[in-house]
Chains A and B, each alone.
Chain A
Amino acid sequence: KAGVTQTPRYLIKTRGQQVTLSCSPISGHRSVSWYQQTPGQGLQFLFEYFSETQRNKGNFPGRFSGRQFSNSRSEMNVSTLELGDSALYLCASSDSGREETQYFGPGTRLLVL
Chain B
Amino acid sequence: AQTVTQSQPEMSVQEAETVTLSCTYDTSESDYYLFWYKQPPSRQMILVIRQEAYKQQNATENRFSVNFQKAAKSFSLKISDSQLGDAAMYFCAYCSNDYKLSFGAGTTVTVRA
A contact residues vs B (CB 8 Å cutoff): 31, 33, 35, 42-43, 45, 48, 55-56, 58, 88, 90, 92, 94, 99-107, 109
Contact = CB atoms under 8 A, between A and B. Distances in A.
Contact of B101 (A45, A88, A105, A109): A45
Contacts of A43: 91, 101, 103
Interface stretch (B7-15, B44-52, B74-82): B44-52
Q: Is the interface of A mostly helix, strand, loop or mixed?
A: strand
A103 B35 CA distance: 11
A106 B43 contact: yes
Contacts of B37: 104
Given A90-B45, A107-B43, A33 B105 contact: no
A107 B44 contact: yes
A9 to B, nearest CB: 10
